[in-house]
Amino acid sequence: MRFADARPDGRSVVYAHIQTDPLVLRAAGLLADASPTQRLLARAVMNGMTEEPGVWRTMFPTLFGPGSPLPGDPARDRSEAILEVSLEVAGRGEQARSQYRGAIVEALTERLLAARTGPVRRERRILFDGRPAEIHPYDVTAEAGVRAEAWDCKWGARGIKADVIHQLDDARRGAIDEGEQLLVGLVVFDARRSCEVRLVRERGSVPLQSLRLIALESLDRLAGRRTS
């Protein structure tokens, strides 16, 4: 088993600009140390309609309401910063914001994973002797250590599709065939409950225990941290 850079194509050239956009990096940095509710705020705002921040503050009383931390408190300031950056993403327009959201989940995954293991890479293919290479690269990989890791990142549970699940499982089985271990999984910026509904429908013959699912509530596990 070996890892290789993905072959650049038209999509990757365009997408590379979004991946390195300061807005993506700022959002990922804020979300890396955020609470589950702050991450949920980002999810709602980035796919919401309302551009008025006051409406979102009303919708999240535990972050901005009477009993929440006061302005100046680091937790409150982070909530405000996440609201601001999320509105900026939402303001990019329908087409662009979907690409920004995907890039943010990937960048967030990279940051969290790097807190536990490394080196962490993006857009990598996994090659096995005697097997044709998969066309689509894996979003985030950790390639050192006893057990390498390959993660596919999704904004929402709806992005979990049979072809993604099968590609991850094929890689896991390819590693086993070569006497190696590869942890494969999905990082989804959505509730576990919605992801499980989708996984059950899309998994086909793939055993669910072979695939790690990291959902919105448990993103900190990527970093080796207990879920707050």
Residues that bind other proteins (CB under 8 A): 37, 40, 43-44, 47-50, 55, 58-62, 65-66, 94, 156-158, 190-194, 196-198, 201, 216-217
Task: Indicate the residue among 146 and 200 with the shorter CB distance to other proteins.
Answer: 200
Give the nearest distance from C-beta 112 to other proteins in angstroms: 19
In angstroms, give the least distance from the CB of 184 to other proteins: 23
Q: Sign of dihedral through CA atoms 71, 91, 213, 185?
A: negative
For other proteins, the closer of residues 211 and 215 by Cβ is 215
Helix (H) or strand (E) holding 99: helix 94-114
Which amino acid, 51?
Answer: E
Helix 10-19 vs helix 94-114: crossing angle, to nearest 10: 70
Whole-number minimum distance, CB 27 to other proteins, in Å?
A: 17
As measured in angstroms, the least distance from the Cβ of 188 to other proteins is 10
Query: Rounded to whole angstroms, how far apart are CA atoms 44 and 38?
Result: 10
**What is the spatial distance between Cα 180 and Cα 202, in angstroms, rounded to a whole number?**
27
Nearest one of 188, 193, 191, 225 to 34, comparing CA atoms: 225
Residue 188 C-alpha from the chain's centroid: 5
Which CB, 49 or 146, lies closer to other proteins?
Answer: 49
> Minimal distance in Å, beta carbon 40 to other proteins?
6
* Comparison of 120 and 216: residue with beta carbon closer to other proteins: 216
Scan for tokens 């979907």, then name that residue.
98
Indicate the residue among 143 and 220 with the shorter CB distance to other proteins.
220
HEC states along 30-46? HHHCCCHHHHHHHHHHH
Please state the closest distance from residue 62 (CB atom) to other proteins, in A: 6
User: Is the omega angle on the peptide bond into residue 71 within 30 degrees of 0, that is, cis?
Assistant: no
Residue pointed to by tokens 């992005």:
159
What type of residue sits at position 147? Answer: R
Looking at the Cβ atoms of 107 and 215, the one nearer to other proteins is: 215
